[in-house]
Structures are given as structure tokens and as C-alpha cells.
């Protein structure tokens, strides 16, 4: 028996209502805030990610699905990678299609995406090798901190609309790369005496990008890192002011946040603002729902013009896990078909197909039996289908053109004509 690859999974029909709801609310949020959708390829040149996400990041270091494509007679195959995230691709597209042209100063391009991402991580609950993200990017000449606040306000609305409660917004500023040099020296100095106690990854991070140690999930490392100097004492004046304005914008919108000077994101490209939204404790260790930040150097890193950028991504898999039991139950219920048609006899069978067609033309969701069964069995099947109603058709019903409409939750049954049935079911839809 061939099964799914480790770290991947099937999203089954019974969960689809939850996925669709999250996607719908996200699209509605993006519509209200003026974002347009973009779809980029699932695989790109490896260089896009090694340059964009950064050679020193965990993602590029050990998590990418990279392969050499078949070459041609005259050419060697090139190195391609399944996208581990979508920001680098969106910025590549922004540059490739010159989306910055014909823009007035300060005008931004707002893009969003949704789709699968691939990282070769250790699979566990809420962490998969193929997972799904929805994210958004604001690109252009402006780095106004109101851009950050607006996106976070949108996320706030999104979480409230989905009734996802008990989330925490963490914010920080990681400053400008040039200004980070002095701080990184101090941090490395402070880390040095602890290297033997830090995990292998942190030793690696010490060499390549010491800031990344704050991202370590290892308990022992975390207790050491808790005493390390943080970047906020070393921020340059402009980053400091930017962060203050960003906070003022959040305050003005009544959005609550926690300043966490130890929060750095896992990608190399962030400058200044970084943030994450943590879900409720029920999610366990994998409780980061949303991650994002500013990346004012990414366009240039990818060979584009100077352009500012801010964006975020959330994990759909984890968002689905965050829906409350009652919300999930309500969504599943609303997702069930309207009516299940049960027939007795061959005349009724033919009639049931035509009635099913008419109900569907009227916009209703209909399941119809294909094989005749005993009434009791058929009704049990109707209940299992979670349809709200059963429509019962026998010879008498065909003759009188009045059919038995049974409410499957109350058990009440009425005899009605097709027009009345459509009217009744449409109101309840
Ligand atoms: P984490 O710290 O949990 O590894 P990250 O810093 O790698 O997250 P980002 O790259 O910023 O996360 O991605 C944004 C969001 O995408 C995460 O907050 C999470 O919800 C989701 N995500 C990231 N990796 C995975 C994964 N392997 N499986 C499921 N969801 C994921
Ligand atoms: Mg990660």
C-alpha cells in the first residue's frame, strides 16, 4: 500500500469547511484592505531563496527541497527548489514585471497569496513538510510605519471574524543590518563562554548569524539566551523612531501588543519591524500563527530597484487547529447538503432525478439515492449524510405532486408541492 510521504497529509472532505472559511475570511480581509492576489510558481531557481531568505537561515541551510532539473544537450540542468516561503517569489515577480513603474511617490503595491510551501522539518502536530500559507506584502517607495499597523489591524479583524481568541501579538525591531554590526559583536562576546552548553544549531548560528540564537526552541539554550543583551539597546536612531511611531499607530487603533526584544524571525531579510502572533496554549509548541516583518533591502538583494517592503504569512494548518470546537462544528454543519431524496418504486426513481435537477437549478444542494433500499435504511443514510431534510417520493407522491419533506433534526414531516419545498429550503439555506 502506498501512503503519503512523511510530513505530508491529505486534507479530507470533513475538514474542508474549516479551510474554506479561513480562506474566505482572508480574501474578504484582503478585499477590504485593497490587496490583489498573485500566484507565483511552486518551484523557482534555488538562488532566489538562497539569496532572498539568506544562506544563514535554517530554511536555506537544511530545510529546502532542492533538485537538479534535467538539462538539455547543450546545457547542464539547473538547481531548482520547491518554495519554502512566498515572499522572495513575490518580490521577484514585483521586479520582473516592473510593478514599481508608473507609481507616484509613496504609492504602494499590495499583494496577497495563498498556497502550499515546502520545508524539510521534523514533522509534528502543527508542523508539516508540505504546509499552507496565506500571506500579504506591501511593496513600494514608502516605509511609513502606518503600513505595518494597517496590516496588523487587518489581521486583528481576521482573527476576530474567525472567533480565534486568546492570541498575543509580539512586536520587536531588529534594526538596520549596518547598525546591527556593533550589537552582534556584543552578543557574540556574551555567547562565547556558553558555547559548550548551547546546541549544535546555536553554535552554527554563533558563526553565521548570532541573532538567530533567539529563535532556538531548545529549553537549555533558551535559559542561556534569556540573559543575553538584546538588540533594542543598540538600535539606530531612525529604527528607534520608526518603532515608536509603529507602536503609536497600534495604540491609536486599540490593538494590544507585547514588546518582546528577544523575538527575531527565522528569515534573514527582516529590517526594523518584526512581529508574530501566537495562538492559544492549546496549540502546544507549534503555536506561532502569524509571522511577519519589514524587509527594506530584499528587492535590492534580488537585483531589483530600491524598494521598501512589509509583509506577513500565516499558517493555514495551524489556523484550522485554532478554530474553537463550537465554531468548527457550526462550520461543518453549515457545509452539509440541504436535502436527501429517498424514493420507493421505479416511477418515483425516475421522478426523483428530475426533482433533484429542479432543486439544484434553484440553487439547493441535493443528494439523491441511486439504488432503492428499504425505507428505514434509506432514512438512516439520509441522517448520516447530515442533510437537514429528507424528501420522500413514492407512487402516491408522484401522482399527487405533493412530496413528504421531513426535517431530520425535529422529525416533523409535511406534504408539500415542489414550489413550496424550494421556498422552504431556500429560506433556511
Ligand atoms: P516556526 O517558528 O513555527 O518554525 P517560522 O518562523 O518558520 O515558524 P514563518 O517562516 O514566518 O514561520 O512562516 C509563517 C507561518 O507559517 C508560521 O507562523 C506558521 O504558522 C506557518 N508555518 C511555518 N512552517 C510551518 C510548518 N512546517 N508547518 C506548518 N505551518 C508552518
Ligand atoms: Mg520554522
- Please write the tens of the pLDDT for every residue from 342-373: 999 999 999 999 999 999 999 999 999 888 88
Residue nearest ligand 1's atom 25 by CA: 127
For residues 164 and 312, what is the distance between their CA atoms, to the nearest angstrom?
A: 18
Contact between 351 and 398 under an 8 Å Cβ cutoff? The reply is yes
CB of 118 closer than 6 angstroms to any ligand 1 atom: no
Q: CATH number, domain at 70?
A: 3.30.930.10
CB of 318 closer than 6 angstroms to any ligand 1 atom: yes
Q: How far is the CA of 344 from the centre of ligand 1 (A)?
A: 54
Report the nearest atom of ligand 1 relative to the CA of 266.
Answer: 6
Residue range 392-399: average pLDDT? 93
CB of 83 closer than 6 angstroms to any ligand 1 atom: no
Question: Which of 270, 294, 328 is the C-terminal boundary of a domain?
Answer: 328
Note the ligand closest to the C-alpha atom of 122.
Answer: 1
Residue nearest ligand 1's atom 22 by CA: 315
Tell me the best of 151, 288, 295 to mutate to test the pocket of ligand 1, counting ligand atoms within 8 Å of each CB and taking the most: 288
User: Percent of the chain scored above 90 by pLDDT?
Assistant: 80
Count of helix runs (H) and strand runs (E) in the chain? 16, 16
CB of 121 closer than 6 angstroms to any ligand 1 atom: yes
Residue 8 lies in a domain: no
Residue 29 lies in a domain: yes
Contact between 216 and 266 under an 8 Å Cβ cutoff? The reply is no
CB of 266 closer than 6 angstroms to any ligand 1 atom: yes
**Do residue 269 and residue 397 come from a single domain?**
no
Please state the domain count of the chain.
3
Q: Output the pLDDT for position 178.
A: 83
**Do residue 24 and residue 111 come from a single domain?**
yes
CB 110: neighbour CB atoms within 10 A?
Answer: 18
**pLDDT higher at 181 or 130:** 130
Q: Output the pLDDT for position 266.
A: 66
Q: What is the mean pLDDT of the chain?
A: 93
Could you list the residue range(s) of the whole structural domain that residue 191 is in?
177-235
Residue 240 lies in a domain: no
Confidence category of residue 301, pLDDT binned at 50, 70, 90 = very high
pTM confidence score: 0.92
**Do residue 348 and residue 403 come from a single domain?**
yes
**Do residue 260 and residue 140 come from a single domain?**
yes
Residue nearest ligand 1's atom 28 by CA: 127
**Do residue 355 and residue 400 come from a single domain?**
yes
Please spell the DSSP secondary structure of 349-395, one letter per residue: HHHHHHHHHHHHHTT--EEE-SS---HHHHHHHHHHTT-SEEEEE-H
**Do residue 133 and residue 82 come from a single domain?**
yes
Residue range 384-403: average pLDDT? 93
Residue 249 lies in a domain: no
**Do residue 73 and residue 93 come from a single domain?**
yes
Backbone angles phi, psi at 243, to 5 degrees: -65, -40
Residue 246 lies in a domain: no
Q: How far is the CA of 288 from the centre of ligand 1 (A)?
A: 7
Q: How far is the CA of 115 from the centre of ligand 1 (A)?
A: 13
Q: Output the pLDDT for position 52.
A: 92
**Do residue 169 and residue 183 come from a single domain?**
no
CB of 133 closer than 6 angstroms to any ligand 1 atom: yes
Q: CATH number, domain at 372?
A: 3.40.50.800
CB of 214 closer than 6 angstroms to any ligand 1 atom: no
Residue nearest ligand 1's atom 11 by CA: 291
Beta strands 36-37 and 258-259, pairing class: unpaired
Q: Output the pLDDT for position 55.
A: 84
**Do residue 320 and residue 273 come from a single domain?**
yes
CB of 63 closer than 6 angstroms to any ligand 1 atom: no
89 Cβ partners below 8 Å, 6+ apart?
40, 41, 44, 48, 83
Contact between 272 and 173 under an 8 Å Cβ cutoff? The reply is yes
The residues pairing with 392 across neighbouring beta strands, listed in sequence order, are 342, 404
Tell me the best of 315, 317, 322 to mutate to test the pocket of ligand 1, counting ligand atoms within 8 Å of each CB and taking the most: 315
Question: Which of 294, 312, 328 is the C-terminal boundary of a domain?
Answer: 328
Residue nearest ligand 1's atom 6 by CA: 266
Confidence category of residue 315, pLDDT binned at 50, 70, 90 = very high
Q: How far is the CA of 121 from the centre of ligand 2 (A)?
A: 8
**Do residue 35 and residue 107 come from a single domain?**
yes
Amino acid at each position: 500500500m502506498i501512503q503519503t510521504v512523511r510530513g505530508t497529509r491529505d486534507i479530507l472532505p470533513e475538514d474542508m469547511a474549516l479551510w474554506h472559511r479561513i480562506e474566505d475570511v482572508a480574501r474578504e480581509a484582503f478585499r477590504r484592505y485593497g490587496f490583489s492576489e498573485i500566484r507565483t510558481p511552486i518551484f523557482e531557481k534555488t538562488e532566489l531563496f538562497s539569496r532572498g531568505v539568506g544562506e544563514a537561515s535554517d530554511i536555506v541551510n537544511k530545510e529546502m527541497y532542492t533538485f537538479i532539473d534535467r538539462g538539455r544537450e547543450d546545457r547542464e540542468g539547473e538547481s531548482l527548489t520547491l518554495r519554502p516561503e512566498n515572499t522572495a517569489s513575490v518580490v521577484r515577480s514585483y521586479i520582473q514585471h516592473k510593478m514599481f513603474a508608473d507609481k507616484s511617490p509613496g504609492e504602494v503595491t499590495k499583494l496577497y497569496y495563498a498556497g502550499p510551501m515546502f520545508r524539510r522539518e521534523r514533522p509534528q502536530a502543527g508542523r508539516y513538510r508540505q504546509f499552507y500559507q496565506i500571506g500579504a506584502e506591501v511593496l513600494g517607495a514608502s516605509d511609513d510605519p502606518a503600513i505595518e499597523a494597517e496590516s496588523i489591524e487587518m489581521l486583528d479583524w481576521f482573527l476576530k471574524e474567525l472567533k480565534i481568541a486568546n492570541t498575543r501579538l509580539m512586536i520587536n525591531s531588529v534594526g538596520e543590518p549596518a547598525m546591527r554590526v556593533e550589537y552582534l559583536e556584543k552578543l557574540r562576546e556574551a555567547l562565547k563562554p556558553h558555547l559548550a552548553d548551547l546546541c549544535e544549531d546555536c553554535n552554527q548560528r554563533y558563526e553565521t548569524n548570532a541573532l538567530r540564537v533567539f529563535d532556538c526552541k531548545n529549553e537549555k539554550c533558551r535559559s542561556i539566551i534569556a540573559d543575553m543583551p538584546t538588540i533594542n539597546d543598540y538600535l539606530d536612531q531612525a529604527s528607534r523612531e520608526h518603532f515608536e511611531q509603529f507602536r503609536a499607530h497600534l495604540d491609536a487603533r486599540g490593538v494590544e501588543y507585547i514588546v518582546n526584544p528577544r523575538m527575531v524571525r527565522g528569515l534573514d531579510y527582516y529590517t526594523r519591524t518584526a512581529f508574530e502572533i501566537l495562538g492559544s496554549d492549546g496549540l502546544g509548541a507549534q503555536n506561532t500563527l502569524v509571522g511577519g516583518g519589514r524587509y527594506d533591502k530584499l528587492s535590492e538583494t534580488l537585483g531589483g530597484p530600491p524598494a521598501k517592503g512589509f509583509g506577513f504569512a500565516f499558517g493555514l494548518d495551524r489556523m484550522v487547529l485554532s478554530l474553537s470546537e463550537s465554531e468548527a462544528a457550526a462550520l461543518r454543519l453549515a457545509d452539509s447538503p440541504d436535502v436527501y431524496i429517498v424514493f420507493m418504486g421505479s416511477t418515483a426513481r425516475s421522478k426523483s432525478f428530475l426533482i433533484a435537477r429542479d432543486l439544484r437549478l434553484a440553487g439547493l444542494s441535493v443528494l439523491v439515492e441511486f439504488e432503492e433500499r428499504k425505507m428505514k435504511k434509506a432514512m438512516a443514510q439520509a441522517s448520516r449524510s447530515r442533510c437537514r431534510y429528507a424528501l420522500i417520493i413514492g407512487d402516491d407522491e408522484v401522482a399527487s405532486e405533493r412530496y413528504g419533506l421531513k426535517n431530520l433534526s425535529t422529525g416533523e414531516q409535511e406534504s408539500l408541492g415542489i414550489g413550496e419545498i424550494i421556498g422552504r429550503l431556500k429560506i433556511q439555506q
